[in-house]
């Protein structure tokens, strides 16, 4: 990737922050995310691509938080999802599956952190415009991990442990997301004689999670999901 292109595009974002010009910033984001496509040599370079996208995403999310520009969050989210889709369509992920999974987890963690910060700051419940975006990311990341478990199961039918591990992780992400996003709501003061309705809700979620893992373990005839 040639150096002048990222520098020129990132300059636009710096100018946007300095002059509080949202339109200039969005144009800079568009340029920043299209740079890999413009300077690509046609050969797969996942370490460079994913490293660049990670650094760019961190910068964009930081600017969005500093300037209170939520549109930056949405723009970067859409761009990352498009790159993920293009990467899987290209078929190069088979050879670079490890770095692909690392990138997906990092991106998921970044947007999870953004949604959590907004939720704590605004003291809002799960279903709002910020966390709705996070749910979509969760579905993509958890779905890819689950499908990878299915892939392992088909390629290596004997290795049931690895397949169960990835499937279980997909389920774990859903329930961990729910509890983290609503930790304040689920930690209300206990009632004198019993749990509060909020804590009962949390208990119900974990009960559903346990039932799903139990059914999954019985169906797969595999004890490893019970470890979750």
Note whether 106 and 128 are same-domain residues.
Answer: yes
Between the ranges 62-66, 82-86, 222-226, where is the mean pLDDT highest?
Answer: 82-86
Rounded-to-integer distance, Cα 89 and Cα 39, Å: 20
Note whether 73 and 91 are same-domain residues.
Answer: yes
Pairwise pLDDT comparison (76 vs 68), residue with the higher score:
76
Note whether 28 and 95 are same-domain residues.
Answer: no
Rounded-to-integer distance, Cα 188 and Cα 190, Å: 6
- The whole domain housing 13 covers 1-43
Q: Is the dihedral of CA 57, 24, 82, 172 positive or negative?
A: positive
Note whether 69 and 132 are same-domain residues.
Answer: yes
The structural domain count of the chain equals 2
pLDDT tens string 22-50: 666 777 777 778 888 777 666 777 888 88
Note whether 19 and 68 are same-domain residues.
Answer: no
Note whether 50 and 19 are same-domain residues.
Answer: no
Both tokens of residue 195?
């749990």
Note whether 170 and 117 are same-domain residues.
Answer: yes
Q: What 8-state DSSP symbol labels residue 128? A: S
Rounded-to-integer distance, Cα 167 and Cα 147, Å: 8
pLDDT tens string 176-211: 655 555 555 555 555 444 445 555 555 556 666 666
Q: What is the pLDDT of residue 202?
A: 56
Note whether 168 and 209 are same-domain residues.
Answer: yes
pLDDT at 7 over 60: no
Note whether 147 and 184 are same-domain residues.
Answer: yes
Note whether 180 and 193 are same-domain residues.
Answer: yes
pTM for the predicted model, two decimal places: 0.51
Note whether 70 and 150 are same-domain residues.
Answer: yes
Note whether 141 and 30 are same-domain residues.
Answer: no
DSSP helix/strand/coil, 92: helix
């Amino acid at each position: 990737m040639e150096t002048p292109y990222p520098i020129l595009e990132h300059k636009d974002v710096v100018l946007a922050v300095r002059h509080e010009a949202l339109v200039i910033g969005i144009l800079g984001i568009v340029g920043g995310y299209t740079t890999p496509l413009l300077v690509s040599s046609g050969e797969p370079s996942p370490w460079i691509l994913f490293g660049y996208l990670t650094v760019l995403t961190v910068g964009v999310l930081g600017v969005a938080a500093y300037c209170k520009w939520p549109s930056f969050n949405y723009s970067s989210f859409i761009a990352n999802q498009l790159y993920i889709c293009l990467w899987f369509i290209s078929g190069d992920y088979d050879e670079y599956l490890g770095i692909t999974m690392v990138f997906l987890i990092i991106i998921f963690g970044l947007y999870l952190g953004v949604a959590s910060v907004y939720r704590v700051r605004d003291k809002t419940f799960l279903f709002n415009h910020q966390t709705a975006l996070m749910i979509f990311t969760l579905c993509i990341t958890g779905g890819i991990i689950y499908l990878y478990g299915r892939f392992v199961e088909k390629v290596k039918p004997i290795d049931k442990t690895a397949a169960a591990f990835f499937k279980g992780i997909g389920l774990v992400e859903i329930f961990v997301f729910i509890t983290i996003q609503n930790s304040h709501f689920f930690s209300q003061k206990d009632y004198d004689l019993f749990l509060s309705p909020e804590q009962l809700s949390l208990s119900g979620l974990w009960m559903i999670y346990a039932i799903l893992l139990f059914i999954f373990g019985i169906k797969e005839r595999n004890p490893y999901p019970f470890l979750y």
